[in-house]
Amino acid sequence: MGQLRVGMVGHAFMGAAHSQAWRTVNHAFDLPLSARMSVVCGRDAVRAATAAATLGWESSATDWREVVTRDDVDLVDICTPGDTHAEIALAALAAGKHVLCEKPLANSVAEAREMARAATAAQAHGIRTMCGFNYRRVPAVALMRQLVAQGRIGVVRHVRAVYLQDWIVDPEFPLVWRLRRDMAGSGALGDIGAHIVDLTQYVTGELITGVSALTETFVRERPLPTGSSGLTANGRAGSGEVTVDDAALFLARLAGGAVATYEATRFATGRKNGLRVELNGSLGSVAFDFERMNELEFYDATTPASEQGFTRILVTEPDHPYLAAWWPPGHPIGYEHTFTHEVRDLVAAIAAGEDPTPSFADALQVQLVLDAVERSAASAAWVPVEAELATV
């Protein structure tokens, strides 16, 4: 068995999730390549070394430039804030490395487009790229896509998608990097809204063509994180301005004519990770709720009226997507498995010489939707989404 030697940049929340995936993938799936966790990179030497020991990496580094040029790295896994994605990914591709980059792909359309073009050029040399939209890899979501593709709900007419969190409801929550536009690009829109944009386009197989949006920032100034110092525009010591949205809501139209609603907020008090997608079609409906991630709701309008009703499908059977690798029927899996499935698909594609999905082009298309949402919210007008080649 050949090896796929991985260097990961960033070791916080996403770094831990990706590490779990790299540690697990060859134990669960029979793959032609074995993932080897060569090096993890972080800015602080002590913390990076601790992460390497804790998360299972062979070594640690403090400069991502070293990681992308190391001889024992075939793939660079980017788990850093969005403002660094483009620079790291472009350098890795130039060095002939495969790249897995967390979502959203970049902080701007210009950066995302440059990354997508570099990825396309790298394909000619056998270099593969993928963006980490992990919710595609929930088995129930993959089954949802299959049902829609098979025509089981007919023509899609309505799409409803929400992603609700509440982790910054407290106005004293500090001004972390996710609340700064220079590092995060946007707020709830890019952080969690990107997921439901990608997810709905994935399950319907259709792209969003236009949006009408509004955004809101409810708490506009927050305390600086412990150890930070500085002043806000009004001169208040120890606090800083929130420069991203707290909530984003928008109407949309899909290429096939369906109408859609989207809501992404980090101010839904009591909601911790409430991602839900529902599709209504001419022959039925299907709905997914991440807080019940091993289930899918399916309504078949073609059955006799006396038998109609939403059916709860427990997605744990071995013939459901990904699940033959795990436990006996009826035994649920969890959030961490989505990342294992993600790297499983990536490793399999690299071994087969194929381009994995979602590609950087797919991720660019999501970025174009996010950009249209921001422009619509600023202008209070309907904004078409710029067309770009994507595979969804």
Give the CATH number for residue 72: 3.40.50.720
Core vs surface per residue 97-135: b (16+ CB within 10 A) or e: bbbbbbbbbbbbbebbbbbbebbeebeeeebbbbbbbbb
End residue of a domain, out of 84, 116, 135 = 135
Count of domains forming the chain = 2
**Are 115 and 142 members of one domain?**
no
Give the CATH number for residue 153: 3.30.360.10
**Are 227 and 342 members of one domain?**
yes
Strand partners, 77: 8, 100
List pLDDT tens digits, range 10-48.
999 999 999 999 999 999 999 999 999 999 999 999 999
**Are 126 and 160 members of one domain?**
no
Per residue of the chain (392 residues), give pLDDT as tens. Answer: 699 999 999 999 999 999 999 999 999 999 999 999 999 999 999 999 999 999 999 999 999 999 999 999 999 999 999 999 999 999 999 999 999 999 999 999 999 999 999 999 999 999 999 999 999 999 999 999 999 999 999 999 999 999 999 999 999 999 999 999 999 999 999 999 999 999 999 999 999 999 999 999 999 999 999 866 554 444 455 899 999 999 999 999 999 999 999 999 999 999 999 999 999 999 999 999 999 999 999 999 999 999 999 999 999 999 999 999 999 999 999 999 999 999 999 999 999 999 999 999 999 999 999 999 999 999 999 999 998 765 55
**Are 282 and 354 members of one domain?**
yes
What is the CA 39 to chain-centroid distance, rounded?
A: 23
**Are 337 and 237 members of one domain?**
yes
| Structural domain includes residue 389 | no
**Are 37 and 93 members of one domain?**
yes
Positive or negative torsion for Cα 269, 274, 275, 277: negative
Range of the domain at 63: 2-135
End residue of a domain, out of 80, 112, 135 = 135
**Are 188 and 213 members of one domain?**
yes
**Are 254 and 321 members of one domain?**
yes
**Are 96 and 174 members of one domain?**
no
End residue of a domain, out of 72, 101, 135 = 135
**Are 364 and 268 members of one domain?**
yes
